[in-house]
Structure 1
Amino acid sequence: MGVAYSVGVDHLYTFFVQWSPDLYTSSGRKQSFLVVNRQELAMIDSLLDQTGPNNWEIITVRKSAHSRSLAGGLPARVQGTVWELVYSTAEHGTSLRTLYRKTAPIDRPVLLLIQDIHNQVFGAFSSDPFRVSNSCYGTGETFLFTFDPEFKTFCWSGENSYFVRGFLDSLQMGGGGPFGLWLDADLCRGSTFSCNTFRNQPLSPQQDFTIRAVEVW
């Protein structure tokens, strides 16, 4: 999985190192990716723990138990895959149109990570890359997840197939009532409610939330 961290700049390393440590060891088998070891991860964690959220744009999970849980929830066909960062608000700006443009060349599943201004981390795995559409798309592999207050995934209920729908002014996931996850055109605000598609709990304590950062892998 593609991994990125940059101490002192906008875009930091993510939890993918902990997902597949065998892919990111000193052997450096994967070219063009940053190689880190456990001591370096510990140092980075220490730096992050000492740094206020106002100084860092970060979507990261540093607890290996959480990262293992999410990795285990991924479909078998993508487990062990090397993921690459496709879109980041810190790097590409806050624009849903830019997100669509960055995901347009992709023909594989994507992982959406969101951090709100209260540092809650949640998101979605989509079987299809995000795009503007006239109807809903995706498969039953799609699911929502949250890390706060504890890690939970919300898989397809089988009740409907309203997995994902992309508009120029919003991105919507889940339906049959309120949306499970909704993001606005500027990727500044979003909403999360229980929906029939995933029978999920709201992903954040704030059902109407303000976004700090978004990443698509």
Structure 2
Amino acid sequence: MGVAYSVGEVDHLYTFFVQWSPDVYTNSNKKKSKTHFIREKHQNRYLGKNNKMASKNKQLNSHAATNWEIISVKDPKRRLSVCSSDSETEEPEYQGEVGVVLPVLSDYSELLDHRHLLSLASHMPARTQGYPWQLVYSTAVHGSSLKTLYRNMAGLDSPVLLVIKDMQKKVFGAFSSDPFRVSKYCYGTGETFLFSFNPDFQAYKWTGENSYFVSGNFESLQIGGGGGEFGLWIDADLYRGSSFSCPTFHNAPLSTQKDFIIQDLEVWTVQN
């Protein structure tokens, strides 16, 4: 009478007989050949995978190398500001030259706006940068009197900025290294210069030919001179003025007319 065994029971019996009589129930050559075949098969499979991966990586590296682009540090920021719609990621617009601080006015100006200040900033001495500018004299506030202008500057020891608008709506003036005062002799240094927005900004620096920077009396105020001509001349009533080319600055006439009528006048000084 036969006995039926399940698959699991057959496996257990076979394991028992192999352990009891290994020489009878095993074939070392067959096992070795099978093991070698399996090992060789596995190695080929791994080698195949490695070759495929190496080939794929080589393709990726080749593709990346052909698409690399060398850009500067500024380029990512510029591209971000151009491509992004988020205003917070945009770079602020550059306002002025590197290292130049835009003058800050502590009072309201009838004549100077942001464009004027931006143009003047790079021509002012470094010692004036970083300080607020205070209104010392204005025809709109103090009337039209050269004596009052001198009186308001008594005791000052800082540079001043003279700004004029004539009846032709032209804006021009002078930067003086010293405050305006009555003096028998010329005063000031080579920091003094004339300027004009007529309509583009022009600055006229010291040429070194003479030292006729500023001179003043109760009848008039003169800036720049030589050869009988003044770069800028203003009368006692701050009403009439004139501007000619002079050796001190080699300037062009600051207004469209050499003789002009003053509409508004302001003088600013540094608060240091």
Please report the TM-score for the alignment, with normalisation by the length of structure 1: 0.73
Report the 3-state secondary structure (helix = DSSP H, G, I; strand = E; otherwise coil) of the residue aligned with 1:160: coil
Could you list the per-position Cα deviations for residues 95-138 of structure 1 after superposition, in whole angstroms to 9, with x for gaps in the alignment?
A: 00000000112100000000001110000000000000010000
* Larger Rg belongs to: 2
**The one of 96, 100, 112 aligned to 2:150:** 100
**The one of 139, 155, 172 aligned to 1:122:** 172
The equivalent residue for 2:113 is 61
After TM superposition, where is structure 1 displaced by more than 4 Å over at least 4 residues in a row? none
Report the 3-state secondary structure (helix = DSSP H, G, I; strand = E; otherwise coil) of the residue aligned with 1:213: strand
The reply on whether 1:189 has 2:271 as its aligned counterpart is no
Q: 5+ residue gaps in structure 2? A: 1-100
Change in Cα spacing, 1:205 to 1:34, as seen in structure 2 (3 Å) is closer
**The one of 99, 102, 120 aligned to 1:20:** 102
Q: Distance in 1 between matches of 2:219 and 2:107?
A: 35
The equivalent residue for 2:96 is none
Report the 3-state secondary structure (helix = DSSP H, G, I; strand = E; otherwise coil) of the residue aligned with 1:59: coil
Q: Distance in 2 between matches of 1:89 and 1:105?
A: 20
The reply on whether 1:155 has 2:198 as its aligned counterpart is no
The equivalent residue for 1:84 is 134
Q: Distance in 1 between matches of 2:244 and 2:114?
A: 26
The reply on whether 1:146 has 2:196 as its aligned counterpart is yes
Q: 5+ residue gaps in structure 1? A: 1-18, 25-32, 36-56
Cα RMSD between the aligned structures? 1.9
The reply on whether 1:216 has 2:267 as its aligned counterpart is yes
What is the aligned-residue identity percentage?
Answer: 61
Q: Distance in 2 between matches of 1:108 and 1:34?
A: 17
Q: How many residues align?
A: 167
Instruction: Read off the aligned partner of 2:142 and give its amino acid letter.
Output: H
The equivalent residue for 2:39 is none
Asked if the contact 2:107/2:134 (under 8 Å) is kept, the reply is no
The reply on whether 1:170 has 2:220 as its aligned counterpart is yes
Please report the TM-score for the alignment, with normalisation by the length of structure 2: 0.59
Report the 3-state secondary structure (helix = DSSP H, G, I; strand = E; otherwise coil) of the residue aligned with 1:137: coil
Report the 3-state secondary structure (helix = DSSP H, G, I; strand = E; otherwise coil) of the residue aligned with 1:83: strand
**The one of 173, 176, 199 aligned to 2:250:** 199
Q: Distance in 2 between matches of 1:108 and 1:67?
A: 18
Asked if the contact 2:239/2:263 (under 8 Å) is kept, the reply is yes
Q: Distance in 1 between matches of 2:195 and 2:251?
A: 9
